[in-house]
Structure 1
Amino acid sequence: MDSVLFLQQLVNGLSLGSMYALIAVGYTMVYGVLRLINFAHGDIMMVGAYIALLLINCLSPFVDASLINDGIGKYILAIFIVALIASMFFSSIVGIIIDKIAYKPLRKAPRISLLITAIGVSFLLQNLFNMIFTSTEQQFPVPPIFEKMITLGKVSMTLGSLLVPLMTVIVMFFVLILLYKSKYGIAIRALAFDIQTVNLMGINANRIIAIVFALGSALAALAGIFWSSNYYSVYPTMGTLVGLKAFAAAVLGGIGSVVGAVLGGLIIGLTEVMVVAFFPDLSGFKDAFAFIFLVFILLFRPTGILGINFEKSRF
Structure 2
Amino acid sequence: MTDAAIDILQTHKLLASCEAGLAERYTVHKLHEATDRAAFLAEVGPRIRAIAGGNVDPGLIAALPKLEIIANFGVGYDSIDTAAARAANVRVTNTPNVLNDAVAELTIGLMVALARRIPQADQFVRQGKWPHAGFGLFSELTGKTVGILGLGRIGKEIATRAQAMKMRVVYYGRKRQPTEPHVFYDNLVDMARDCDWLVIIALGGKGTERIVSREVLTALGPKGRLVNVARGTLVDEDAMLELLQSGGLGGAALDVFVNEPAVPEAFFALDNVVLSPHQGSATTQTRDAMGALVIANLDAHFAGEPLPSAVV
Q: Same fold (TM over 0.5)?
A: no
Between structure 1 and structure 2, the one with the greater Rg is 2
Structure-2-length-normalised TM-score: 0.23
- TM-score (normalised: structure 1): 0.23
Q: Which has the higher contact order (CA 8 A, sep 6+)?
A: 1
Between Structure 1 and Structure 2, the one with more helix by share is: 1
As a proportion of its length, which structure holds more strand? 2
